[in-house]
A and B are shown apart, each in its own frame.
Chain A
Amino acid sequence: EAGVAQSPRYKIIEKRQSVAFWCNPISGHATLYWYQQILGQGPKLLIQFQNNGVVDDSQLPKDRFSAERLKGVDSTLKIQPAKLEDSAVYLCASSLGSSGANVLTFGAGSRLTVL
């Protein structure tokens, strides 16, 4: 079974530039998550999709972050404009159900460095 695919693995940008990350979840997983993991901390949920609808985006900084999952399969997370504090690893995960009790399958992450 293919895992959760993410790209790019690494990205370096200047502050105020934009960046986009892509995620393709495990086939058949209806729920997709984007987490932000700052160095030395645990993952923090940014947004959760159930199919192509948003379940929870309460911690997404909506003035600069946006995410979509138009066809209920793959997803894109965008940051525009980036700030220094956005330097982090952006992890995508998927699960069969939407409850937090579900086991998550994570991708390898996209590491963003903002200079």
Chain B
Amino acid sequence: AQKVTQAQTEISVVEKEDVTLDCVYETRDTTYYLFWYKQPPSGELVFLIRRNSFDEQNEISGRYSWNFQKSTSSFNFTITASQVVDSAVYFCALYSGAGSYQLTFGKGTKLSVIP
């Protein structure tokens, strides 16, 4: 069975602060994929990043960075110098493939960036 835990239900930060969204996953498979999606108030989930289990390199894209640590089964997401437009619900998701096509989503973390 696979599981994704996003322990932070809601986070509020002041604009320009850095913020880290936590994601812990569980799977018995050695091959799996991890994702982050953003859901702004408009409702449409937007893909941010996908990592496979064999690539533990951290990723940076502009103000966004991701820290993948297999030793702690975590795939955390950091926004540097947050902006009001970053306000959204962020979902971490896991696909591990064995016997299932399904993507398992966490419950999401609602980020509010206050001007």
Contact = CB atoms under 8 A, between A and B. Distances in A.
Given A45-B102, A101-B95, A89 B47 contact: no
Contact of A45 (B33, B50, B103): B103
Given A91-B45, A106-B45, A109-B44, A100 B100 contact: yes
Contacts, number: 63
B47 A109 contact: no
Contact of B97 (A40, A44, A99): A99
Interface string A1-41: 00100000000000000000000000000000000000011
Chain A CB within 10 Å — which of B42, B44, B52, B106 has the most?
B44
B54 interface: no
Bin chain A's interface residue count.
Answer: 20 to 34
A84 interface: no
Interface residues of B, number: 24
B102 A100 contact: yes
A42 interface: yes
Interface in B1-45: 4, 33, 35, 37, 42-45
B101 A107 contact: no
Interface of A: 3, 40-45, 48, 55-56, 89, 91, 93, 98-101, 103-109, 111
13 contacts: A3-B44, A40-B107, A42-B91, A42-B106, A44-B105, A48-B101, A56-B100, A89-B43, A99-B101, A100-B95, A101-B50, A104-B45, A106-B46
